[in-house]
Structure 1
Amino acid sequence: MIDADVLLPDDLFSALPGADAVQAHAIPVNADRWSKAIANRGLPSLQGKLAEPGHTTISRAEVFDQADREVTTENAFQLLYYSLAWGLGIRAPRLHARLNALAADPDRAGELLLKAWETARAGAPAAEVYSALATDRGSGRIRQLGPAFATKFLYFAQGAAAEPRLLILDAVVAGNLAEAWPGAATWGWYPQTYGRYCDLMANWAGQATERLNGARKVRADEIELVLFRRRPE
């Protein structure tokens, strides 16, 4: 069980990167591989930077740009492509299996993605938003799109202007939460677990803001990023 009332660890506070650094957090991507794999499956074509040839980088800010477009099924696929490409990086493990799952029933996938995006934008509780893409037992509603990638989609779906309340949760972040979540499961989180995780991130962001004596407001995704980068002692 996550203890959402644990105090923010000092090492996380001292490593806060600032909001601009979070937005600039970029990952290398092989755009050619994505374009070819998507086209071969008859999925909605890539648009924007990822549709250009060669290797590139995708930053969090550029994925948020996709989320700030009109909320439509077509754009939901673009948001998914960009959030997946950012999350998978240059190696893009199991890319073909993930895209095969989308291509097996693109209409259903589009409906689920659109619902998740709309629910995220509506400000629904984190557990409810998460449930749009994950079952009550923590399995992905879209095959090969497990909870870790679902939370990436939801994080970006909030849009750049929103105060981040839906945070990325993956095996690395969960494994680095020893103070608040000893023995954390690294996959298959229940909706209520994800909700408590988001509460913890908001709580720690609030504590960090207080410790800065009002110099600036700390965003919850700053905490998520330093957790991802945290190295066990």
Structure 2
Amino acid sequence: MAATPLTEVRLPEQALSELSGINENQWIRDHAISVGRPWWTQTLAEHGFDDTLTGETIRRADIFALSDAAADDPAAALTLLWNALAWGSGDKRRNNKARIAAVAAHPEAAAALLQQAAALSRTDPQTAYELLYPRNRTAIAGLGPAFFTKYLYFAGGGEAHHPCAILDENVALALQKSCGWASLPLSGWLSTAYQRYATLLGMWTDQHHLGRRDSIERWLFEAGKTTPRRPTSGDPS
């Protein structure tokens, strides 16, 4: 399937109506997840890491506050990763033990890679994505696009026009079924697809005078959760 032109991918009227009435602080910054911290404390310790989670319940704003240090310091990049993973998985483990083990196998290299990706996330979504998904393979075992795009997103510190946004199956499903991006698959996206996604969110933010790109991402995520899953033959672009 040929790549769907972005000019044919449209934000539904329902999204525009709902996004016009949101309180951005409540919708984004105060979006909180209970993470089951004791599991993290134990599992991180088993692999030689300190528990640097911000709390038992983590808000997006709490992770945003970690972003500046992560772009400069590899150790701080690991802190950002643990918090992003915990927030992203909540009380479900979702392969986090394997991810922690993969980082522990090469901690200095993994931390340096994450620090570099955090710095790049602010200006170059495609290159940041490629660092963590070279040749369409995970650079850190188990840390695939659905979770490392959370990391790239939080590395922006909550800036409204940060170019990196979360891309997971729910978001992709809403883009595909509700917005008309027919060629977008539900997983395994190429870096070019991620760049097109970043471009699309920027276009929509400008066209519809929306305040934040991540408000659109959250709307897509919520819409995708209620959309029936069906097989797709889409091209990852």
Check whether TM > 0.5. Answer: yes
Unaligned runs of 5+ residues in structure 2 are 229-237
Q: How many Å apart are 1:48 and its aligned residue?
A: 5.4
**What is the aligned counterpart of 2:5 among 3, 6, 23?**
3
Q: Does 1:23 align with 2:29?
A: yes
Find the aligned partners of 2:62 and 2:5 in 1 and give their Cα distance: 33
Detail structure 1 runs of 4+ shifted over 4 Å in the superposition. Answer: none
2:198, 2:119 → 1: CA distance? 19
- Compared CA separation, residues 48 and 94, structure 1 to 2 (3 A): closer
Whether 1:158 and 2:159 are equivalent positions in the alignment is: no
Return the TM-score normalized by structure 1: 0.86
Distance 1:91 1:7, change over 3 A: closer
Number of aligned residue pairs: give it: 217
Show the counterpart of 1:212. none
Superposition deviation, residue 164 in structure 1: 2.1
Query: 1:41 matched to which residue of 2?
Result: 47
Shift of 1:69: 3.0
Query: What's the TM-score, normalizing by structure 2?
Result: 0.85
Distance (whole Å) between structure 2 residues aligned to residue 161 and residue 232 of structure 1: 29
2:205 corresponding residue in structure 1: 205
> Which residue of the partner structure matches residue 213 of structure 1?
none
Give how far 1:95 is off.
Answer: 2.1
Q: Does residue 127 of structure 2 align to residue 118 of structure 1?
A: no
Aligned partners of 1:2 and 1:197 also within 8 Å: no
* Structure 1: distance between partners of 2:150 and 2:10: 25
Counterparts of 1:173 and 1:118, CA distance in 2? 24
Tell me the equivalent position of 2:16.
Answer: 13
Q: Deviations over 1:15-73 (max 9, x none)?
A: 21342121111111111110110001113x123534xxxxx211111110111336201
The answer (yes or no) to whether the contact 2:74–2:112 under 8 Å persists in 1 is: yes
Distance of 2:167 and 2:53 partners within structure 1:
27
Segments of structure 1 that go 5 or more residues without pairing to the other structure are 51-55, 210-216
